[in-house]
Structures are given as C-alpha cells and as structure tokens.
Amino acid sequence: MVELVWLIPTFPLVGFLFLLIAGSRLGEPKAGWIATAASTCSFIVTFVVFLGLLAKSGDDRSFEQVLFDWLPAGSLNVEAGFLVDPLSMTMALFVTGVGTLIHLYSVGYMHGDPKFSKFFLYLNLFLFSMLMLVLGNNLVVTFLGWEGVGTCSYLLISFWHQRDSAATAGKKAFVTNRVGDWGFMIAMFLLWSSIGTLTYTEIAQSSPMATVTGTAVSLLLFVAAAGKSAQLPLYVWLPDAMEGPTPVSAMVHAATMVTSGVYLLVRMNHVLTSDALIVIAVVGAATALFAALAAVAQQDIKKVLAYSTVSQLGFMFLAIGSGAYVAAIFHVITHAFFKALLFLGSGSVIHGMHDEQDMKKMGALRSLMPITAGTFIIGWLAIAGVPPFAGFWSKDEILLAAWEQPNIGPILWAVGLVTALLTAYYMSRQVFLVFFGDKRWDEGVEPHESPWTMTLPLCILAVAAALGGLINLPVVADWLYLEHFLEPIFSHPHQFVSSTTTKIILAIIAVLAGLVGIGVAAAVWLVHRVKADQLEPKILENAMYIDAAYSKVVGGVGHKAFEMISNADKKYVDGAINQIGKTTIRLGAMMRPLQSGYMRNYAIGITIGGLVLLIWIIAGAS
Amino acid sequence: MVDTIVFLVAAAICLTGALGVILARNPVHSALMLVMTLFGIAVQFVSQEAHFLAAVQVIVYAGAIVVLFLFVIMLLGVDTAQNLEIGALPAQKWAALCFGVGSLALTGYIILAVDNPVTGRPGMGGAIDETANVRLLARSLFSNYVYAFELTSLLLVIAVIGAVVLARKPVKQLPEEAGR
Amino acid sequence: MIVTTSWYLVLGALLFIIGGVGLLVRRNPLIMLMCVELMLNGVNLSFVAFSKALGDIGGQTVVFFVLVVAAAEVVVGLGLIVAILRRAPGSTADDLSVLKG
C-alpha cells in the first residue's frame, strides 16, 4: 500500500490545477468543496499509506519511490522521489488531517469573500507544497516544497492585498524567509561537496563529516529552520503574518508550515553536531521566553496567538537542541492540534464579532458562542499544560529533556519553566478577556455562533487537543507509541536517564507553574485584584522594539549602503554593458554599406563563397 | 558510337537552350529555350538509364513549370523585349565573368584532373540495374526516404496555398468601409 | 570516342555555370528564376551520372526530391513575382532594393 504515496500530493495538485482553470466559474461554495475534497482524499490516501507502513516490521519501515530523474548533472543526480518512513508519515498525517479540517472551516469563514475560489486555490497549492516538503526523499525536493510553502505563505498573508498592512506583511514574510532559504541552500552545497549526496537515506548512512563542516552545515540548517519557524532573530514576520485570513494563520502559520523547520532538523538529525545542538537549544529557549513575554501584553486576539506560536516553536527547538527529537515531533503534533484549535476558535470569535480583533472590546461571549467557547477552553487548558490534556505531556517531555541537557540543563529548564508559567498566564488572560467578564463590545455588534462548517472542525480539534497525549504517554514504556514508531530514523535514540522520582517532581513543578499562571491571570482579569496596566508595559507590547530596530538599521544605514551599491552598479556594471551596446552599434554602422539591397550583389557573395569552397576542396584533395 | 552521337546532339541542344535562356531579350523566348534545355537533359537521363526521371522531367518541368512561367509572363504582360545593358551595377558584368571563368576552371579541374572517390561509402538505395531502375527507385523512395517523401507532399501543399495567398489581388477596401 | 561519366559532369557544370552567370547579369526576375532552374538541372545531371557510375540508385532519389522542391520553389517564386510586379509594374530586380542597410 505504501506505493500509493505519489497520490498524496497529487490530489491537492489536481485540485489546484482544476481551481486554476475553473475556480472562478465555480464560485462559492463549490470551489471550497472541491478543495476540501482534494484535501480529504489526500488524507485518506495518507492514512492508507500509513497503515501499509505499520504492516511492515520495525526496521523495514522505509520505502523510497523514485518517479523520475529530475536534475541529472554529472555525478549529481537529483531524483524526484518520495520517502515513506515513520517521520514523513507522522508529518503527512497531521498536515493532511489538520489541513482538511481547516479547508472545511474556511468554507464557512470565507463566506462572501470576492476572492473565495482563489483562496482555496492557494490553500491547495500550499497543501501540495507542504506534502512535497515532508515526503521528498532528498533535500532538493524538500527545498522545492520549502519554497512552495514560502510562496503560498506570501500569497495568503497578503490575500487581502488591498489593505496596505497585509501587502507589507506578505513582503516582510517573504524577505525574511529568504534569509533562511539562503542558509538552506548553502547547507545543501556544503553537504554535497563534503559527502556527495543529498538523499536522506544516503545521508543517514554516510560517514560523519569533519567537525567544523558538520557544525557549519548544522548551523546553516538551523538558519533555514529559524527563518521558516520564526526563531530569534528571524521571528519578526510571524506576528505580522496575522494580517492573513484566520484559517491561514491556523494552517500555515501555526500548525504546518512553521513546523517545517523542526521537521528539517529532525530529518537531518544525523548531521547535527553537539556544538550546534547547544546553539539550537539556547536560541530555542531564548525565543520561547522572549515571545512569551511579548504575548503577555498584546491586545489583538490573533497577535497573542502569534507570539504564542513563536514561543511554542522555541520549545520545539529547545527539545531538538536537547537531543529529544521525539519530544519535538510530539510537541509539533500536539501544538498543531491545540494551536489550530485556538486559531480557528479566535477566527470564529472574529467572525461572530464582525471582524473585531481587539480583546478589550470583547468579553462575556461564553453564553453567546457556546461551542466556540467550550472548544477554546479545551485548547487553553491544553496549551497551559494542565494534565491530562495533550500539551501537558509534550511540554513535560521537553522540560525533562532540557533538564537532562548535559552542559546547561538546569538553566534551560528554568527558562522553559518560566515560559510555561507565562504561557499559562497569557492564555488565561485571553480566555478571561474574551469569554468571561463584562460585555465591552461596541453598539450594534451582535455576536453569534458560527455555522456548522466552522464548529465541526473546532469540535474535532478539541477532541484531538484533549486526547493527543495518548500517542506518547510516558506512564508505561509500552505506551510510548510515537517514540517506538519514530525510533528507526534516529542515529542516537534519546534516552531519559532521570529516575522516576525526579520525573514526577519535575512534572509536578511544571503543573504548579501552569496553575500559578492561571491563578495570577484569574486574579488580574477575572476578579480584578491587581491593576492590569502595570503588567503590560509598552516595551512588551512592542516585543522589545526588535522590529523597530530592524526598520531603523535596514531603513537608515542599510538604505544608504544599498543606494551606494546601486549607484556603483549603474555606473560600472551597467556602464560596461552600455559600452558594449554602443560599440556594437558603431561596428554595425561600419558594416552597413555591405547591405546594398541589390539581390544580384548578394548572389555575387554566394558565388564568391562557392568558389572559395571549391578551392578548399581542391586543396584538400590534392 | 550511337551513344556518343546521342550525347553530343543532346549536349548541343542543352547548351544552345541554356545560352538562349540568358541571352534572349524576350522572356517568352527565354522560356521556350528553357524547354529546349529540359528536353536535352531528359535525353541525357534516358541514356543514363534514368527512365522514370526522364519522364518526370518532361512532364513536370516542360509540361508544368514552363507553362506556369509562360502564364505568368502573359498575365503580367512583360513579354516585351528588354535591353541587356547592365544598369545600376556596373561591376556586376565583370564579377559574373570572373565567376563563370573561375568556376569553369575549378570544376573542370576537379572533374578531369582530380581522380578521387568522393566519399568511399556504399550507397543506401541499392545497386542500379538496367531493367529494374524504376522499381529500385520506387523501393528507395517508399522505404528509406518515406518520411522525406511524405514531407514533400506537405511542402507542395504549403507552396500551393502560399502562392494563392501571395498572388491574390490585393483587397482595395474592406466591405464594411465600402458600404459607408 | 566513348562517353565517360566525366562528359556528363562537364555538361552539368557548364549548364550550372551558364545558369549562374545568367542569374548574375539578368535583371528580369522571371529570367533569374529560369536561371535557377538551369542550375538545378545541371546538378541533377551530375547526380544521375554519378548514380550510373557508382551503381547506386540514391542519386536518382535525390534528383526526384530536387524536382519536387524545384516545383514548389517555382510556384512560390512566381507567386512573389506576380505580387511584386502587380504593385510596381515593369520593375526589375535592381529596383527592389528597399532592404538597403
């Protein structure tokens, strides 16, 4: 059954091409249903392939399907091929699964939009690119998907491009992502020149590179991942990306695309060196803390979730840096469930509030939007790390892995713990602001519950967010399904060394931190014991002014430097080319008289040529 | 002996006709002289055992192409004598003379003095045989050269359509404009 | 005197050169086209002579194709001449020098 893997990306591609041709004629809602059908078919096929993979025994779970030679160039032969193994199937399953739900949700959310069919066209293209990214059997195919999701992200962020801020945000995302792409490309070049292959299975079997090269490749891959997965210092595009429609924020900028950096590093775990891992862990922890601080003071319902996403991605990188790849993937999955749920929930709120995004103008929506509120609360408990919801299990595993990091473990753990506390606080703040307290919305706004196409995905995701932890319960060794499933793809399977007592103590501290966060939030926002204003300084709301600093540097000094380069380019590079052109024109003017326009003159030219040929033949023959 | 006489007579006809083509002042005479040359060459084809080509030469060239020439001459009414003086290009006559003498000398030298096999490769079509040349030609055309043969049919269709388009009387006015 | 292949080749060469000279000196486009036909026939004769001398039917096949292409060429050439002379009656090849550089 694994041979069907080529069908997985084919469905969204066909959907995309079909909508490209007929989309605007189909209009609403047919275009949306077709895109959803393509996504659903893709999910079903993925599930079938997954079952086929499960049917094989543990060591045999790797299947490559080569479609054709894509770039045969000397000793470099890049194939267009797919790799089916536990990692790619795990990713593909939740990408298509969550993707399908979000397609369905979008049918309701995008109701009445003039570019309805175009939205679904982009969504299908995104799904196709994302599947190429996770299913490709070598780095180049992954890079194709990588660029594809980047393009779709750009198109979707600036979907409402008549809004100036949306167009700018799209450009910002694209340009920032290019920095990461640069890292990806250089890493590929280095890999190729040092081990001579770009295929994952061959990379896994090749002998290790020299330490310096290996570290360079690892760090460049991390630059790529940091660009795509919004880590410090390249995170700036993700909060702005919330200009896109909310389903896009849920799918592209929370559940799937931004986790591709995590996927890339986990996929390349064979080449990551220990030095690079420390850098990754530190940057991950710093990002997690920094973004959590920024999230504390946001007023926009989606901005909170955006910074929260950055923070959670930091958690995943912290896990990778600590060597706990399974924990990273586990958190990718649970995060996809609860963050997609939260985003879709916020979308439902925005939809019901007629495009109001300021949390200060909401409140008391609990009774008016019961399904949205209920599911949102499940998502909140999951992300806050309250057992037994999904987020608790994955976050706990990451914190444990950080604790066991040999060099700076306790520091990483402490940062993670503070982040967990802050996470619980800002999410509680959001829930209390939106769903509890007094009504604060403007006159004339009538909040209402969303249609079934939007609430159904919410309910499914709520179940997943509540029960997602079941795939990797650390209670009994046999229950670690995900861990055992993913084991074959790692060079050094990660082992937790702490005693059971330590584990339990750490888990209790983490839960307590989460409860403290919730408690503080309740004290401030629910019963108003503390004045809220002091808790939200401007510096946090503006995310330490990093964004502004970027604008200052690039817009000031950078702008001048670029202008100088541009002038030099005009003077010397363009000048040289213009000189070539002028010389050609002058030479041409000299040759003009040869073209007399008389046909018989030209015939003389032919005969002279013929005579010369004859003489040449005679000279050669004698 | 008969061969020699046939060759000489036919060669005389060819050369007379050829000189006639380029020296006649009246295009009609040139066309008729061309027919003469073509007949001479057809005779040479027969004596070289290329019977089919000889027939085609007479039918296509003499029968169709020259008639086409005559039609055009009559159609355009250019059947009047023209002077042979060189007009705009005074050097042309000397250049032409140099070309004629030069290439005559060189080709003559190649034919008569240089005695080398041309390529040394055996041909593709098969050895010729006095009695079965037409059959051999047919087999060659419809086996080895069948794609080229089919392409020539396409070429002829294109030529015919092209000629019709080119020679059509230019439309003076569009019908709608004429109506206004 | 026995007729050898060389005789035919010389005759072909003569026809070719007469045609070539005619092409260079005459200004009437119709006659220039006829000169091209003469040149083609000179070459055809050489082909047939070689075909006989080398015992290979290929030479005759080539001549067949030359005949077909010549027919097409004459048709298009005459079409062009008709179109040109209808626009500018009585013009010669030298009058058509619009494409001067």
Output the CA torsion sign for A607, A612, A616, A618: positive
Q: Please give the Cα distance from A113 to A355 (Å, whole number).
A: 13
Q: Please give the Cα distance from A258 to A149 (Å, whole number).
A: 10
| Per-residue tokens: A619 | 């000279």
Contact C61/B140, CB-based, under 8 Å? yes
> What is the distance in angstroms between the Cα of C57 and the nearest Cα belonging to chain B?
5
Predicted local distance difference test score (pLDDT) of residue A358: 83
User: A358 — phi, psi (to 5°)?
Assistant: -80, 120
Q: Which residues of C62-80 are buried (b: 16+ CB within 10 A; e: fewer)?
A: bbbbbbbebbbbbbbbbbb
Q: Is the Cβ–Cβ distance between C29 and B76 less than 8 Å? A: no
Residues of chain B in contact with residue A604, where contact means CB-CB under 8 angstroms, are: 92, 95-96, 99
Residues of chain A in contact with residue B89, where contact means CB-CB under 8 angstroms, are: 598, 600-601
Higher pLDDT among residues A621 and B162, named by residue = B162
Predicted local distance difference test score (pLDDT) of residue B128: 62
Residues of chain B in contact with residue C40, where contact means CB-CB under 8 angstroms, are: none
Q: Is the Cβ–Cβ distance between A480 and A474 less than 8 Å? A: yes
Residue A163: band (very low, low, confident or very high) from pLDDT cuts 50, 70, 90: confident
Residue with tokens 């059947």: B79
Closest by Cβ to A596, choosing from C27, C32, C97? C97
Contact C57/B19, CB-based, under 8 Å? no
Output the CA torsion sign for A560, A564, A567, A573: negative
Contact B159/C7, CB-based, under 8 Å? no
C interface test, pick of A591, A600, A607 with most C CB neighbours within 10 Å: A600
Q: Is the Cβ–Cβ distance between B69 and C35 less than 8 Å? A: no
Residue A532: band (very low, low, confident or very high) from pLDDT cuts 50, 70, 90: low
- Asked if residue C22 is part of any domain, the answer here is yes
Determine the residue of chain B that is closest to C64 in CA distance. Answer: B53
Q: Please give the Cα distance from A360 to A468 (Å, whole number).
A: 32
Q: Residue B171, SS3?
A: coil
Contact C52/B128, CB-based, under 8 Å? yes
Q: Which residues of A284-304 are buried (b: 16+ CB within 10 A; e: fewer)?
A: bbbbbbbbbbbbbbbebbbbb
Residues of chain B in contact with residue C41, where contact means CB-CB under 8 angstroms, are: 37-38, 41, 61
Tell me the one-letter amino acid at A445: V
Q: Per-residue DSSP letters for B122-155? A: PPSS----TTTHHHHHHHHHHTTTHHHHHHHHHH
Contact C23/A603, CB-based, under 8 Å? yes
A79-88, A436-445, A506-515, A563-572: the lowest-pLDDT one: A436-445
Closest CA to B45 of A103, A259, A449, C60: C60
Helix (H) or strand (E) holding A82, with range, is: strand A76-84
pLDDT tens digit string along A308-344?
Answer: 999 999 999 999 998 888 889 999 999 999 999 999 9
**Chain A, 55-74: which have a CB under 8 Å from a chain B CB?**
none
- Asked if residue C37 is part of any domain, the answer here is yes
Contact C14/B65, CB-based, under 8 Å? no
Q: Please give the Cα distance from B46 to A621 (Å, whole number).
A: 32
Residues of chain C in contact with residue A596, where contact means CB-CB under 8 angstroms, are: 97, 100-101
Residue B121: band (very low, low, confident or very high) from pLDDT cuts 50, 70, 90: low
Q: Please give the Cα distance from A144 to A128 (Å, whole number).
A: 11
B interface test, pick of A614, A616, A617 with most B CB neighbours within 10 Å: A614
- Asked if residue C12 is part of any domain, the answer here is yes
Helices (H), A406-499: 409-435, 452-467, 481-486
The set of residues, in sequence order, having a beta carbon less than 8 Å from that of B156 and lying 6+ positions away, is: C68, C71, C72
Higher pLDDT among residues B169 and C9, named by residue = C9
Average pLDDT, chain B: 80
Give the residue-averaged pLDDT of B78-101: 69
Give the residue-averaged pLDDT of A179-186: 91
Contact A611/B109, CB-based, under 8 Å? no
Most confident of A245-249, A468-472, A540-544: A245-249
pLDDT tens digit string along A122-159?
Answer: 999 999 999 999 999 999 999 999 999 999 999 999 99
- The yes-or-no verdict on residue B132 having pLDDT over 90 is no
Give the residue-averaged pLDDT of A409-418: 89
Q: Please give the Cα distance from A273 to A497 (Å, whole number).
A: 21
Predicted local distance difference test score (pLDDT) of residue C40: 93
> What is the distance in angstroms between the Cα of C43 and the nearest Cα belonging to chain B?
11
User: A68 — phi, psi (to 5°)?
Assistant: -165, 165
3-state secondary structure A296-361: HCCCEHHHHHHHHHHHHHHHHHHHHHCCCHHHHHHHHHHHHHHHHHHHHHHHHHHHHCCCCCEHHH
Closest CA to C58 of A560, B119, A454, A507: B119
Q: Is the Cβ–Cβ distance between A332 and A472 less than 8 Å? A: no
Q: Please give the Cα distance from A387 to A381 (Å, whole number).
A: 8
Angle (CA) A317-A483-A335 rounded to 5° is 45
Give the residue-averaged pLDDT of A206-226: 89
Provide the ipTM.
0.89
- The yes-or-no verdict on residue B124 having pLDDT over 60 is no
Closest CA to A230 of A163, A157, A323: A157
- Asked if residue C15 is part of any domain, the answer here is yes
Closest by Cβ to C30, choosing from B3, B72, B108? B72
Q: Please give the Cα distance from A290 to C56 (Å, whole number).
A: 89
> What is the distance in angstroms between the Cα of A603 and the nearest Cα belonging to chain B?
10
B interface test, pick of C75, C85, C91 with most B CB neighbours within 10 Å: C75
Closest by Cβ to B87, choosing from C64, C65, C94? C94
Predicted local distance difference test score (pLDDT) of residue B180: 46
- The yes-or-no verdict on residue A89 having pLDDT over 80 is yes
Helix (H) or strand (E) holding A67, with range, is: strand A63-73
B136-150, C16-30, C83-97: the lowest-pLDDT one: C83-97
B interface test, pick of A601, A612, A615 with most B CB neighbours within 10 Å: A601
Determine the residue of chain C that is closest to A610 in CA distance. Answer: C20
Whether B2 and chain C come into contact, CB under 8 Å, resolves to no
User: Domain tally for chain C?
Assistant: 1
Supply the pTM of this predicted model.
0.67
Residues of chain B in contact with residue A616, where contact means CB-CB under 8 angstroms, are: none
| Per-residue tokens: A208 | 């290790």
Give the residue-averaged pLDDT of C69-82: 90
Q: Please give the Cα distance from A273 to A219 (Å, whole number).
A: 9
The set of residues, in sequence order, having a beta carbon less than 8 Å from that of C10 and lying 6+ positions away, is: B107, B108, B111, B112
Q: Is the Cβ–Cβ distance between A248 and A350 less than 8 Å? A: no
> What is the distance in angstroms between the Cα of C26 and the nearest Cα belonging to chain A?
9
Predicted local distance difference test score (pLDDT) of residue A362: 81
> What is the distance in angstroms between the Cα of B168 and the nearest Cα belonging to chain A?
24
Q: Please give the Cα distance from B74 to A227 (Å, whole number).
A: 81
Give the residue-averaged pLDDT of A494-501: 78
Determine the residue of chain A that is closest to B99 in CA distance. Answer: A607
Residues of chain B in contact with residue A611, where contact means CB-CB under 8 angstroms, are: 99, 102-103, 106
Predicted local distance difference test score (pLDDT) of residue A370: 87
Q: Please give the Cα distance from A282 to A415 (Å, whole number).
A: 10
Q: Please give the Cα distance from B149 to A507 (Å, whole number).
A: 86
Which one-letter DSSP state was computed for residue A68?
Answer: E
Q: Is the Cβ–Cβ distance between A607 and C24 less than 8 Å? A: yes
Give the residue-averaged pLDDT of A465-471: 85
Q: Please give the Cα distance from C44 to C16 (Å, whole number).
A: 10
Beta partners for residue A69, in sequence order: A79
Distances (CA, A) of C81 to A73, A237, C76: 53, 69, 9
Q: Please give the Cα distance from A75 to A599 (Å, whole number).
A: 53
- The yes-or-no verdict on residue B179 having pLDDT over 50 is no
Chain B adjacent subunits, 3+ CB pairs under 8 A: A, C
Contact C10/B93, CB-based, under 8 Å? no
Residue with tokens 């608790």: A392
Q: Please give the Cα distance from A621 to A613 (Å, whole number).
A: 12
- Asked if residue C100 is part of any domain, the answer here is no
B40-49, B127-136, C49-58, C67-76: the lowest-pLDDT one: B127-136
Q: Please give the Cα distance from A231 to A265 (Å, whole number).
A: 13
For residue C50, what are the domain limits? 5-95
Contact C101/A600, CB-based, under 8 Å? no
Pairing of strands A63-73, A76-84: antiparallel
Higher pLDDT among residues C56 and C41, named by residue = C41
Contact C93/A598, CB-based, under 8 Å? yes
Closest by Cβ to B56, choosing from C10, C61, C67? C67
Predicted local distance difference test score (pLDDT) of residue A580: 93
Whether A615 and chain B come into contact, CB under 8 Å, resolves to yes
Closest by Cβ to A598, choosing from B88, B109, B116? B88
Q: Is the Cβ–Cβ distance between A243 and A151 less than 8 Å? A: no
Higher pLDDT among residues A614 and B79, named by residue = A614
Q: Is the Cβ–Cβ distance between B15 and C24 less than 8 Å? A: no
Tell me the one-letter amino acid at A364: A
- Asked if residue C101 is part of any domain, the answer here is no
SS3 content of chain A, % helix, strand, coil (to 5): 75, 5, 20
Q: Taking the CB of residue A389, how many other CB atoms lie within 10 A of it? A: 23
| Per-residue tokens: A304 | 């909170």
Angle (CA) A125-A131-A135 rounded to 5° is 150
Contact A599/C20, CB-based, under 8 Å? no
Output the CA torsion sign for A183, A189, A194, A195: positive
Residues of chain C in contact with residue B128, where contact means CB-CB under 8 angstroms, are: 51-52, 55-57, 60
**Chain C, 71-100: which have a CB under 8 Å from a chain B CB?**
71-76, 78-83, 85-87, 89-90, 92, 94
Helix (H) or strand (E) holding C28, with range, is: none
CATH number at residue C33: 1.10.287.3510
Q: Is the Cβ–Cβ distance between A339 and A305 less than 8 Å? A: yes
Residue with tokens 């007399």: A596
A479-483, B118-122, B130-134, C55-59: the lowest-pLDDT one: B118-122
Residues of chain A in contact with residue C93, where contact means CB-CB under 8 angstroms, are: 598-600
